[in-house]
Structure 1
Amino acid sequence: MIKQIPNIITSLNILCGCVAVLFAVSGDLIIASVFAFLGIFFDFFDGLAARLLKAQSEIGLQLDSLADVITSGVVPGVVMFQLLNLSIFGHMQTLTAIFSLDGWNVSFNNYLPLLGLMIVIASAYRLAKFNVDTRQTSGFIGLPTPANTLLILSLPLILQFQYSDLAETIILNKWFLIGMTLLSCILLNAEIPLFALKFKTWDFKSNTIRYVFLVLCVVLLVFMKFLAIPFIILIYILLSMFRKS
């Protein structure tokens, strides 16, 4: 039974991801973000539990990736779909509205929100590569899907909790959202080596970059709240690119 604890935690990730999808489809992006964050929390601790309990398994590895496809693939994809709807139409809508019987009379803009689902495809491809890429045992090649999810979900959270005319003008600009979608897909599968936040030891010398990054995260989150998330992702990429090999 103890050996199944990591898989149970991963299953909680799957459950949270499914609930987040339901809320995102219905247009409640804030509650969807809460459940996605909870799923990412479980995603972090299933691997930690597996290492502590010495319960790593091939099934656990595959289950973890399947969970990430939902929580860190489908959820941000649907959220971007709804943000594009909000940008173009001023409200969120369902696929029924897009593929209505009057579809022949609508413009290309009606189908543009579907572009957000590219994030789902790019995330699934990135996770498939991760499972077979032997270079990613101690770090990552390309932006991890949970980090990308945090980036996408920060957008509705900024609009809700740190609203300003400037934030709305930028975030609800369809070209900005299209650019974010394409950038997201590129970063997920780019050949950029990125460090992992897994601590094999706790000494400062061998984990300097991790401790510096975590301190910066705390400081930015305290002073900038959700607006800090895009900057944290940028710092993560820059620190990884300029660290000593």
Structure 2
Amino acid sequence: MKQIPNLFTLLNLLCGCLAIVMVMQTGLTMAYSSNGETIVEIPEHMQWASVLLAVAALIDFCDGFFARLLKVPSDMGKQLDSLADVVSFGVVPGLIAWQFLRLSVAQEPDGLDASMGWLLPAFILPCAGAFRLARFNIDTTQQHGFKGVPIPAAGLLLASFPLIYWNTRETWVITLLLNKWVWYAIIVLISYLMVSTLPMMALKFTQLSMQKLFPFLLMGIIAMITAFLWGWLSVPITFIAYVVLSLLLKQKES
């Protein structure tokens, strides 16, 4: 019984490892349009990495849930959970950003011969995630809320971009996702939100009151409405709602 939460944590890590394979299995591919233009793409099966990260997030929730349910929390479980999270929600999103930066740079003249230096900022994400996890492990004040955006939330945001890219019909969205400067802004912003000390809500229902549940119900409504209207774009919209609601509620409490 004591090892059940750790088993879930290892399944989280397994999903992260499989997601790495999905992201990095093949590189850029080249084709020609009917007009004779060169088209550079990244592998479409990278969407499976997004699916695997969604499964990893569900498992990550389950390991903590079962640890509390079975009353078997342990220091080993806490450390193991962080090690799994840094792979699934740090390294994998960093590789997703890497692939999109490759694709963005490749659209430019002589982009296929561009320096790797243009791609290295992608790995700010796993570095920021690792820092945030290390700080969380030694901080005893984050029992009912978080300081900085939790790494699973940041990881799921990054994981949504392959799904958005291959399933949207909005050309402006594609244009944004093929702009390296947009990606640099995303990387810097998400990394900052993770390492910051901004107060963020935690998905822990210790008190089942309407006041405590309201922000989560509101986010659920936002997610459902935006998913119906814009598909996978609901993920970044819901992420923004999470950050804004967290900051507004904290100001209200203070």
Gaps of 5+ in 2: 26-42
| 2:47 aligned residue | 30
| 2:196 aligned residue | 190
Work out which of the residue numbers 174, 183, 187 in structure 2 matches 1:177.
183
Work out which of the residue numbers 80, 101, 107 in structure 2 matches 1:84.
101
- For each residue in 1:73-110, what CA deviation from the matched residue of structure 2 results, as whole angstroms up to 9, or x when unmatched? 0000000000000111149xxxxxx9xxxxxxx544x3
Give the aligned residue type for 1:75: V
- Relative to the length of structure 1, the TM-score reads 0.88
| 1:3 aligned residue | 2
Give the aligned residue type for 1:12: L
5 Å-filtered alignment, 1:126-205, equals 126-205=132-211
Gaps of 5+ in 1: 92-97, 99-105
Question: Is the aligned partner of 1:216 residue 2:225?
Answer: no
| 1:56 aligned residue | 73
Cα distance, 1:191 vs. partner? 1.6
Give the aligned residue type for 1:234: I
Name the SS of the counterpart of 1:163 in structure 2: coil
For 1:210 and 1:165, the matched residues in 2 are separated by 31
Cα distance, 1:31 vs. partner? 1.0
Cα distance, 1:36 vs. partner? 1.2
Work out which of the residue numbers 34, 44, 47 in structure 1 matches 2:61.
44
Say if 2:105 and 2:114, in contact at 8 Å, map to a contact too.
Answer: no
For 1:146 and 1:221, the matched residues in 2 are separated by 20
Cα distance, 1:187 vs. partner? 0.8
For 1:61 and 1:242, the matched residues in 2 are separated by 30
Name the SS of the counterpart of 1:3 in structure 2: coil
Say if 1:50 and 1:56, in contact at 8 Å, map to a contact too.
Answer: yes
- Relative to the length of structure 2, the TM-score reads 0.85
For 2:98 and 2:141, the matched residues in 1 are separated by 33
User: 4+ residue runs of structure 1 moved beyond 4 angstroms?
Assistant: none
Name the SS of the counterpart of 2:10 in structure 1: helix
> Cα–Cα, structure 1 residues 180 and 55, in superposed 2: closer, same or farther, change >3 Å?
same
Cα distance, 1:163 vs. partner? 3.4
Name the SS of the counterpart of 2:203 in structure 1: coil
Name the SS of the counterpart of 2:217 in structure 1: helix
Count, aligned residues: 230
- Kindly, what percent of the aligned residue pairs are identical? 37
| 2:89 aligned residue | 72
For 1:25 and 1:124, the matched residues in 2 are separated by 21
